[in-house]
Amino acid sequence: MEHHLFDKEIYINRRQRLVEKMDGKGIILFPGNEEIGMNYKDNQYPFRQDSSFLYFFGLDIPGLTSMVDLESGEEIIFGTDWTMDDMIWTGPMPSLGDLASMAGVEKVNTPGALKQLVEKTIQAKRTIHLLPQYRGENIIKIANLLNTSPGELKSFISLPLVKAVISLREIKEEVEIKEMEKAVTISADMHYRAMEFTRTGMKEFEVGAQIEKVAKSRNARFAYPLIFTVNGEILHNHGQSNTIESSKLILCDTGAENEMHYAGDLTRTFPASKKFNGKQKDIYEIVLTSMDHAISLLKPGIRYKDVHKAAAEKIVDGLKELQIMKGNTHDAVEAGAHALFLPHGLGHMIGLDVHDMEALGEDNVGYSGTVKRSDTFGLKSLRLGKELQEGFVLTVEPGIYFILGLIDQWSSQKLHDAFINYGKLESYRDFGGIRIEDNYLITSNSSRKLGKHLPKSVAEIESLRSD
């Protein structure tokens, strides 16, 4: 089994900086993930290590828990060494001690020793810091370890630890940016294959198989379930059973998780036929204008909430030219009228998780003391609103969607009819949806797109579709 890690100094430095940021007492526990049975114990889901465990310890194997003592500086990885019976199934494996040393940890011990350490820590009334847990198996395992119930485990969740981990993980190091370049480039090649291979009469899943083939050929996998659909107005449409008809637009939202577990997240929308028709081209150009404007604003210090609103205003301007919307653009966005067509946020952080650190709480990751999440429809779905910093990596993904149920609901209520021409929407009921998405690194005074070039202009896409 191959083990992909950065140099051990990377992990040592990350843990040192974490301890400095915590500036407290007690111990930190980092539970790694376990194998999980799909339909019985030995038929398992593909293993995916916890991202914060990967960030601080790098070891991509199940059944481990790590401890950092904030006072003594002691670090231990707890787990069980492989037996000969295990290695009949797995092949030769390095010892746990050898693996730990690859991450700069010199001390290992057994799960039994972990139980004893936790008991002593509790008896000594020392604090145990824990990140939020998202898997049922881990919640039960850790609750048993801490001699509490799953429902009471939340009392161990440490907000100082959450904030410290976010402050480290949100600023991407050079080694991480290199891995993200790789992941986004693989993702771009997945999209190239989709645009080159797709023909009318095919089933969506036939193209989906080609997309996954590209990922697997690079020792990568999907960073999230594939969205490849002729019904692009359904935001997370993971089914692929439709036949591709020539009148349809195809929305492809897919990204690779590379062998170091960094994610790409790209979206392209292209015509099932060789060219966009007039109506499709008009809406596509509005989305592209919105995206390009948002990208032009990216720099340290700007609030992403403001970038989102600026992108939304470009969408309103474009829809006004088509007489789908009307009235004052700024007022329309402030009222939330644009959310009929853009009901999601402009983007999110991306890194070891496709929605980076979402397990630590969206508001903790995407918002700050000065920027709070809105509770209005559309804007409340913006995962990232706070001030951007150099080293952030994020998605920019505006869209326009014609969602029939939403249109009918708003129309019946005459909602925002000062800004929306509902009569004009009748001819767009079978349109679908358009989204365009790329991944950007915030630099010292601007931004830089990650990964290889992937066509997004009408001319480029039509050229690729016509080859």
- For the cut 70, the answer to whether the pLDDT of residue 27 exceeds it is yes
- For the cut 90, the answer to whether the pLDDT of residue 155 exceeds it is yes
Question: For residue 86, what are the domain limits?
Answer: 8-169
Q: What secondary structure does DSSP assign to 221-232, as a single string? A: EESS--EEES-T
CATH code of the domain containing 23:
3.40.350.10
- Could you tell me how many residues make up the chain? 467
Q: Looking at the structure, do residues 81 and 185 belong to the same domain, yes or no?
A: no
Q: Looking at the structure, do residues 139 and 182 belong to the same domain, yes or no?
A: no
- Looking at residue 342, what is its pLDDT? 98
| pLDDT tens figures, 444-460 | 999 999 999 999 999 99
Per mean pLDDT, which range of 2-6, 219-223, 324-328, 433-437 is the poorest?
A: 2-6
- Looking at residue 426, what is its pLDDT? 95
Q: Looking at the structure, do residues 88 and 17 belong to the same domain, yes or no?
A: yes
Q: Looking at the structure, do residues 116 and 189 belong to the same domain, yes or no?
A: no
* Residue 115 domain flag: yes
Of 169, 202, 223, the last residue of a domain is 169
* Residue 239 domain flag: yes
- Residue 170 per-residue DSSP state: T
- For the cut 80, the answer to whether the pLDDT of residue 2 exceeds it is no
| pLDDT tens figures, 371-393 | 999 999 999 999 999 999 999 99
- Looking at residue 231, what is its pLDDT? 97
* Residue 2 domain flag: no
Task: Kindly state the tokens that stand for 75.
Answer: 């670090």
* Contact of 358 with 399, CB cutoff 8 Å: no
- How many other β-carbons are positioned within 10 Å of the β-carbon of residue 266? 24
- For the cut 90, the answer to whether the pLDDT of residue 467 exceeds it is no
* Contact of 96 with 77, CB cutoff 8 Å: yes
Q: Looking at the structure, do residues 83 and 178 belong to the same domain, yes or no?
A: no
Q: Looking at the structure, do residues 132 and 211 belong to the same domain, yes or no?
A: no
| pLDDT tens figures, 104-147 | 999 999 999 999 999 999 999 999 999 999 999 999 999 999 99
- Looking at residue 24, what is its pLDDT? 85
- Looking at residue 238, what is its pLDDT? 86
* Residue 409 domain flag: yes
Q: Residues with Cβ < 8 Å from 93, sequence gap 6 or more?
A: 1, 82, 86, 87
* Residue 1 domain flag: no
Average pLDDT over residues 418-445: 98
* Residue 363 domain flag: yes
- Looking at residue 298, what is its pLDDT? 99
Q: Looking at the structure, do residues 164 and 179 belong to the same domain, yes or no?
A: no
CATH code of the domain containing 324:
3.90.230.10
Total number of domains in the chain: 2
Q: Looking at the structure, do residues 289 and 311 belong to the same domain, yes or no?
A: yes
How would you classify the pairing of strands 438-442 and 393-396?
A: antiparallel
Q: Looking at the structure, do residues 20 and 68 belong to the same domain, yes or no?
A: yes
**% of the chain at pLDDT higher than 90:** 95
* Contact of 398 with 434, CB cutoff 8 Å: no
- Looking at residue 12, what is its pLDDT? 98
Q: For residue 77, which of 96, 90, 55 has the smallest C-alpha distance?
A: 96
Q: Looking at the structure, do residues 159 and 197 belong to the same domain, yes or no?
A: no
- Looking at residue 93, what is its pLDDT? 87
- Looking at residue 96, what is its pLDDT? 96
| pLDDT tens figures, 240-266 | 999 999 999 999 999 999 999 999 999
**Helices 204-217 and 174-197: angle between axes, nearest 10 degrees:** 140
- Looking at residue 260, what is its pLDDT? 98
How would you classify the pairing of strands 399-401 and 393-396?
A: unpaired
What's the half-sphere exposure (Cβ side, CA atoms, 13 Å) at 457?
Answer: 4
Model pTM score: 0.97
Residue 1 pLDDT grade (very low, low, confident, very high; cuts 50, 70, 90): low
Of 169, 187, 215, the last residue of a domain is 169
Q: What secondary structure does DSSP assign to 356-425, as a single string? A: TTGGG-HHHHH--SS-PPP-STTGGG-S--SB--TT-EEEE--EEE--HHHHHHHHHTTTTTTTB-GGGG
| pLDDT tens figures, 422-433 | 999 999 999 999
Q: For residue 233, which of 372, 344, 354, 84 has the smallest C-alpha distance?
A: 344
Q: Looking at the structure, do residues 364 and 349 belong to the same domain, yes or no?
A: yes
| pLDDT tens figures, 10-20 | 999 999 999 99
Task: Share the mean pLDDT of the chain.
Answer: 97
Q: Looking at the structure, do residues 162 and 179 belong to the same domain, yes or no?
A: no
- Looking at residue 289, what is its pLDDT? 98
| pLDDT tens figures, 64-113 | 999 999 999 999 999 999 888 888 888 888 999 999 999 999 999 999 99
Of 136, 169, 202, the last residue of a domain is 169
* Residue 15 domain flag: yes
- Looking at residue 23, what is its pLDDT? 83
